[in-house]
Structure 1
Amino acid sequence: MFGIVPFRNHKLQERGSLFDIENMFNSLFNDSFIGFTGGNPIRADIKENDKEFIVEAEIPGVTKEDIKLDLRDDTLTIAVEQNQESNEERDNYIRKERRYGSFSRSFYVENVKNEDVSAKYENGILTIVLPKSETKKVKNRIEIQ
Protein backbone atom coordinates (compact mmCIF):
# COMPACT_ATOMS: atom_id res chain seq x y z
CA MET A 1 0.00 0.00 0.00
CA PHE A 2 1.19 3.48 -0.82
CA GLY A 3 -0.20 6.73 0.57
CA ILE A 4 0.69 10.36 0.91
CA VAL A 5 1.56 11.85 4.28
CA PRO A 6 0.14 15.39 4.66
CA PHE A 7 2.72 18.14 4.35
CA ARG A 8 2.30 21.86 4.77
CA ASN A 9 4.90 24.46 3.91
CA HIS A 10 3.65 27.70 5.43
CA LYS A 11 5.36 30.96 4.69
CA LEU A 12 5.14 33.46 7.51
CA GLN A 13 4.02 36.84 6.25
CA GLU A 14 3.32 40.12 7.93
CA ARG A 15 -0.25 41.22 7.26
CA GLY A 16 -1.89 44.59 7.46
CA SER A 17 1.30 46.59 7.19
CA LEU A 18 3.37 48.44 4.65
CA PHE A 19 5.34 45.23 4.13
CA ASP A 20 2.43 43.69 2.17
CA ILE A 21 3.41 45.52 -1.02
CA GLU A 22 7.07 44.68 -0.54
CA ASN A 23 6.22 41.01 0.10
CA MET A 24 4.07 40.95 -3.03
CA PHE A 25 6.92 42.25 -5.20
CA ASN A 26 9.46 39.96 -3.54
CA SER A 27 7.34 36.89 -4.17
CA LEU A 28 6.60 38.01 -7.73
CA PHE A 29 10.26 38.33 -8.64
CA ASN A 30 11.89 35.71 -6.41
CA ASP A 31 9.60 32.68 -6.56
CA SER A 32 9.08 32.59 -10.31
CA PHE A 33 12.80 32.40 -11.09
CA ILE A 34 13.44 29.40 -8.90
CA GLY A 35 11.38 26.90 -10.86
CA PHE A 36 9.07 26.01 -7.99
CA THR A 37 5.94 28.10 -8.14
CA GLY A 38 3.44 27.52 -5.38
CA GLY A 39 2.05 24.26 -4.10
CA ASN A 40 4.30 21.37 -3.33
CA PRO A 41 7.75 21.76 -4.89
CA ILE A 42 8.19 17.98 -5.24
CA ARG A 43 5.83 16.47 -7.79
CA ALA A 44 5.82 12.69 -7.85
CA ASP A 45 4.50 9.86 -10.00
CA ILE A 46 4.09 6.48 -8.31
CA LYS A 47 3.95 3.21 -10.22
CA GLU A 48 3.36 -0.29 -8.91
CA ASN A 49 3.95 -3.71 -10.40
CA ASP A 50 4.10 -7.21 -8.91
CA LYS A 51 7.65 -6.80 -7.61
CA GLU A 52 8.07 -3.15 -6.63
CA PHE A 53 6.90 0.42 -6.23
CA ILE A 54 8.61 3.05 -8.37
CA VAL A 55 8.56 6.72 -7.36
CA GLU A 56 9.60 9.31 -9.93
CA ALA A 57 9.95 12.73 -8.30
CA GLU A 58 10.61 15.95 -10.20
CA ILE A 59 13.30 17.95 -8.39
CA PRO A 60 14.93 20.21 -10.98
CA GLY A 61 17.72 22.65 -10.24
CA VAL A 62 19.36 20.78 -7.37
CA THR A 63 22.30 18.42 -7.11
CA LYS A 64 22.08 14.90 -5.75
CA GLU A 65 24.07 16.10 -2.72
CA ASP A 66 21.14 18.44 -1.88
CA ILE A 67 18.72 15.48 -1.67
CA LYS A 68 18.28 13.31 1.42
CA LEU A 69 16.18 10.13 1.41
CA ASP A 70 14.91 8.43 4.54
CA LEU A 71 12.80 5.29 4.92
CA ARG A 72 11.71 4.80 8.49
CA ASP A 73 8.58 3.42 10.17
CA ASP A 74 6.88 2.76 6.79
CA THR A 75 7.41 6.39 5.73
CA LEU A 76 9.55 7.43 2.76
CA THR A 77 10.72 11.04 3.04
CA ILE A 78 12.35 13.02 0.25
CA ALA A 79 14.02 16.15 1.63
CA VAL A 80 15.90 18.86 -0.25
CA GLU A 81 18.08 21.57 1.22
CA GLN A 82 19.29 24.22 -1.22
CA ASN A 83 22.18 26.57 -0.79
CA GLN A 84 22.40 28.24 -4.17
CA GLU A 85 24.10 31.40 -5.38
CA SER A 86 23.88 32.94 -8.85
CA ASN A 87 25.81 35.78 -10.43
CA GLU A 88 24.59 37.69 -13.45
CA GLU A 89 26.42 40.54 -15.13
CA ARG A 90 24.81 42.82 -17.74
CA ASP A 91 25.88 46.20 -19.09
CA ASN A 92 26.38 48.49 -16.10
CA TYR A 93 24.99 46.41 -13.29
CA ILE A 94 25.69 43.20 -11.45
CA ARG A 95 22.97 41.07 -9.92
CA LYS A 96 23.88 38.55 -7.27
CA GLU A 97 21.24 36.36 -5.68
CA ARG A 98 21.37 33.68 -3.02
CA ARG A 99 18.75 31.05 -2.35
CA TYR A 100 18.58 29.07 0.85
CA GLY A 101 15.72 26.84 1.73
CA SER A 102 14.45 23.36 2.37
CA PHE A 103 11.36 21.37 1.56
CA SER A 104 10.24 17.77 1.85
CA ARG A 105 7.58 15.30 0.85
CA SER A 106 6.64 12.08 2.64
CA PHE A 107 4.82 8.95 1.52
CA TYR A 108 3.43 6.08 3.55
CA VAL A 109 4.76 2.74 2.28
CA GLU A 110 4.37 -0.71 3.72
CA ASN A 111 5.68 -4.17 2.88
CA VAL A 112 8.93 -2.84 1.44
CA LYS A 113 12.36 -4.50 1.64
CA ASN A 114 14.22 -1.57 3.19
CA GLU A 115 17.66 -3.07 2.55
CA ASP A 116 17.01 -3.36 -1.23
CA VAL A 117 15.71 0.15 -1.91
CA SER A 118 17.68 2.03 -4.58
CA ALA A 119 17.62 5.58 -5.94
CA LYS A 120 19.02 7.46 -8.93
CA TYR A 121 18.97 11.20 -9.73
CA GLU A 122 19.29 12.16 -13.38
CA ASN A 123 18.14 15.19 -15.42
CA GLY A 124 16.08 16.60 -12.54
CA ILE A 125 14.21 13.33 -11.90
CA LEU A 126 14.75 11.28 -8.75
CA THR A 127 13.78 7.64 -9.32
CA ILE A 128 13.33 5.47 -6.23
CA VAL A 129 12.74 1.72 -6.55
CA LEU A 130 11.14 0.10 -3.51
CA PRO A 131 11.07 -3.72 -3.82
CA LYS A 132 8.06 -5.33 -2.17
CA SER A 133 8.44 -7.78 0.69
CA GLU A 134 6.11 -10.62 1.54
CA THR A 135 2.74 -9.21 2.49
CA LYS A 136 1.85 -9.58 6.09
CA LYS A 137 -1.47 -11.24 6.75
CA VAL A 138 -3.34 -9.01 9.14
CA LYS A 139 -6.24 -10.48 11.02
CA ASN A 140 -9.08 -7.97 10.79
CA ARG A 141 -11.84 -9.99 12.38
CA ILE A 142 -11.67 -10.66 16.10
CA GLU A 143 -13.54 -13.58 17.59
CA ILE A 144 -15.57 -12.77 20.67
CA GLN A 145 -15.33 -15.41 23.41
Structure 2
Amino acid sequence: MFDLIPFERGTDGLFDEFSRLVNGGFWNGTDSFRTFRTDILDKGDRYVLRADLPGFQKQEININVEGDRLTLSAEHKEEFNENKKNYIRKERRYGAFSRSFDLSGIDSAGICARYSNGVLELELPKSAQAKSSQKRIEVN
Protein backbone atom coordinates (compact mmCIF):
# COMPACT_ATOMS: atom_id res chain seq x y z
CA MET A 1 0.00 0.00 0.00
CA PHE A 2 2.76 2.47 0.87
CA ASP A 3 4.43 2.09 -2.51
CA LEU A 4 1.29 3.56 -4.14
CA ILE A 5 1.90 6.94 -2.53
CA PRO A 6 4.73 8.93 -4.14
CA PHE A 7 7.49 10.28 -1.94
CA GLU A 8 8.20 13.97 -2.39
CA ARG A 9 11.54 15.50 -1.57
CA GLY A 10 11.75 19.08 -0.49
CA THR A 11 14.33 21.52 0.65
CA ASP A 12 12.64 21.68 4.06
CA GLY A 13 12.61 25.44 3.83
CA LEU A 14 10.43 27.66 5.95
CA PHE A 15 7.99 28.42 3.12
CA ASP A 16 7.80 24.94 1.49
CA GLU A 17 4.42 24.08 3.02
CA PHE A 18 3.01 27.50 2.14
CA SER A 19 4.24 27.17 -1.46
CA ARG A 20 2.68 23.71 -1.76
CA LEU A 21 -0.68 25.05 -0.59
CA VAL A 22 -0.63 28.08 -2.87
CA ASN A 23 0.64 26.27 -5.96
CA GLY A 24 -1.25 23.03 -5.67
CA GLY A 25 -3.62 22.98 -2.76
CA PHE A 26 -6.18 25.60 -3.64
CA TRP A 27 -8.20 25.91 -6.83
CA ASN A 28 -7.65 29.42 -8.12
CA GLY A 29 -10.27 29.44 -10.88
CA THR A 30 -7.70 29.37 -13.68
CA ASP A 31 -6.91 25.65 -13.52
CA SER A 32 -8.72 24.99 -16.79
CA PHE A 33 -6.56 27.55 -18.60
CA ARG A 34 -3.11 26.18 -17.92
CA THR A 35 -0.43 26.51 -20.56
CA PHE A 36 1.94 24.03 -22.14
CA ARG A 37 5.62 24.30 -22.99
CA THR A 38 6.72 25.32 -26.47
CA ASP A 39 9.91 25.80 -28.46
CA ILE A 40 10.10 28.11 -31.48
CA LEU A 41 12.95 27.71 -33.95
CA ASP A 42 13.93 30.09 -36.77
CA LYS A 43 14.68 28.03 -39.89
CA GLY A 44 15.35 31.01 -42.19
CA ASP A 45 12.29 30.91 -44.44
CA ARG A 46 9.96 29.61 -41.71
CA TYR A 47 9.51 29.20 -38.00
CA VAL A 48 8.92 25.81 -36.41
CA LEU A 49 6.82 25.75 -33.26
CA ARG A 50 6.88 22.59 -31.13
CA ALA A 51 4.38 22.21 -28.31
CA ASP A 52 4.37 19.42 -25.72
CA LEU A 53 0.88 17.94 -25.48
CA PRO A 54 1.44 14.44 -24.08
CA GLY A 55 -1.56 12.19 -23.70
CA PHE A 56 -3.84 14.06 -26.08
CA GLN A 57 -5.52 12.55 -29.12
CA LYS A 58 -5.42 14.51 -32.40
CA GLN A 59 -9.18 15.09 -32.10
CA GLU A 60 -8.68 16.90 -28.78
CA ILE A 61 -6.31 19.50 -30.29
CA ASN A 62 -7.62 22.69 -31.90
CA ILE A 63 -5.58 25.17 -33.94
CA ASN A 64 -7.33 28.41 -34.84
CA VAL A 65 -6.13 31.47 -36.75
CA GLU A 66 -8.01 34.70 -36.30
CA GLY A 67 -6.42 37.79 -37.77
CA ASP A 68 -2.80 37.91 -36.58
CA ARG A 69 -3.38 35.49 -33.70
CA LEU A 70 -2.81 31.73 -33.63
CA THR A 71 -4.48 29.92 -30.75
CA LEU A 72 -3.56 26.37 -29.77
CA SER A 73 -5.88 24.60 -27.39
CA ALA A 74 -6.39 21.05 -26.19
CA GLU A 75 -8.93 19.56 -23.83
CA HIS A 76 -9.27 16.27 -21.97
CA LYS A 77 -12.78 15.44 -20.86
CA GLU A 78 -13.22 13.16 -17.89
CA GLU A 79 -15.53 10.26 -18.53
CA PHE A 80 -18.10 9.58 -15.85
CA ASN A 81 -16.98 6.66 -13.75
CA GLU A 82 -19.21 5.22 -11.02
CA ASN A 83 -16.20 3.57 -9.37
CA LYS A 84 -14.54 6.84 -8.32
CA LYS A 85 -14.83 5.75 -4.71
CA ASN A 86 -12.34 2.94 -5.48
CA TYR A 87 -9.48 5.35 -6.23
CA ILE A 88 -6.69 5.38 -3.69
CA ARG A 89 -4.98 8.31 -5.41
CA LYS A 90 -6.03 10.31 -8.48
CA GLU A 91 -3.32 12.57 -9.95
CA ARG A 92 -4.14 12.49 -13.65
CA ARG A 93 -5.85 15.72 -14.54
CA TYR A 94 -8.57 16.52 -16.99
CA GLY A 95 -9.04 19.99 -18.30
CA ALA A 96 -8.18 22.50 -20.99
CA PHE A 97 -4.92 24.02 -22.11
CA SER A 98 -4.76 27.13 -24.27
CA ARG A 99 -2.06 29.41 -25.61
CA SER A 100 -1.98 32.18 -28.23
CA PHE A 101 0.81 33.44 -30.47
CA ASP A 102 1.25 36.55 -32.63
CA LEU A 103 1.33 35.78 -36.36
CA SER A 104 2.75 39.11 -37.56
CA GLY A 105 5.06 38.38 -40.49
CA ILE A 106 3.65 34.85 -41.02
CA ASP A 107 1.91 33.58 -44.16
CA SER A 108 -1.07 32.05 -42.34
CA ALA A 109 -2.32 30.30 -45.49
CA GLY A 110 0.83 28.14 -45.54
CA ILE A 111 0.74 26.89 -41.93
CA CYS A 112 0.84 23.11 -41.59
CA ALA A 113 0.70 20.90 -38.50
CA ARG A 114 1.83 17.41 -37.46
CA TYR A 115 1.25 15.58 -34.18
CA SER A 116 3.40 12.64 -33.14
CA ASN A 117 4.41 11.12 -29.79
CA GLY A 118 2.80 13.91 -27.77
CA VAL A 119 4.49 16.75 -29.65
CA LEU A 120 2.56 19.12 -31.92
CA GLU A 121 4.78 20.66 -34.60
CA LEU A 122 3.66 23.66 -36.65
CA GLU A 123 5.52 25.02 -39.66
CA LEU A 124 4.94 28.76 -39.90
CA PRO A 125 6.23 30.13 -43.23
CA LYS A 126 7.45 33.71 -43.11
CA SER A 127 5.62 36.15 -45.37
CA ALA A 128 7.55 37.72 -48.27
CA GLN A 129 7.39 41.08 -46.51
CA ALA A 130 8.93 39.66 -43.32
CA LYS A 131 11.75 37.97 -45.26
CA SER A 132 12.70 41.18 -47.10
CA SER A 133 12.63 43.34 -43.96
CA GLN A 134 15.39 41.35 -42.23
CA LYS A 135 18.85 42.87 -42.01
CA ARG A 136 21.97 42.20 -40.05
CA ILE A 137 23.36 44.89 -37.79
CA GLU A 138 27.07 44.84 -37.06
CA VAL A 139 28.28 45.44 -33.53
CA ASN A 140 31.08 48.00 -33.23
Using the size of structure 1 for normalisation, the TM-score is 0.57
- Aligned counterpart, 2:101: 107
Encode CA deviations 1:12-48: one digit per residue, 9 max, x unaligned.
Answer: xxxxxxxxxxxx6xx56xxxxxxxxxx9531000011
Encode CA deviations 1:97-143: one digit per residue, 9 max, x unaligned.
Answer: 795421200111212222211001111100000111111689xxxxx
Structure 2 stretches of 5 or more lacking a match?
1-20, 26-32, 134-140
The answer to whether the Cα contact below 8 Å between 2:34 and 2:96 also exists between their aligned partners in 1 is no
Using the size of structure 2 for normalisation, the TM-score is 0.58
Equivalent residue of 1:47, what SS? strand
Measure the CA separation in 1 of the matches of 2:56 and 2:110: 25
1:94 to 2:86 alignment: yes
1:59 to 2:53 alignment: yes
The answer to whether the Cα contact below 8 Å between 2:70 and 2:100 also exists between their aligned partners in 1 is yes
Deviation, structure 1 residue 94:
3.3
- Aligned counterpart, 1:49: 43
Identity %: 32
AA at the equivalent of 1:132: K
Residues 39-48 or 110-119, more deviating: 39-48
C-alpha RMSD of matched pairs (Å):
3.2
Structure 1 stretches of 5 or more lacking a match?
1-23, 29-38, 139-145
The answer to whether the Cα contact below 8 Å between 2:113 and 2:120 also exists between their aligned partners in 1 is yes
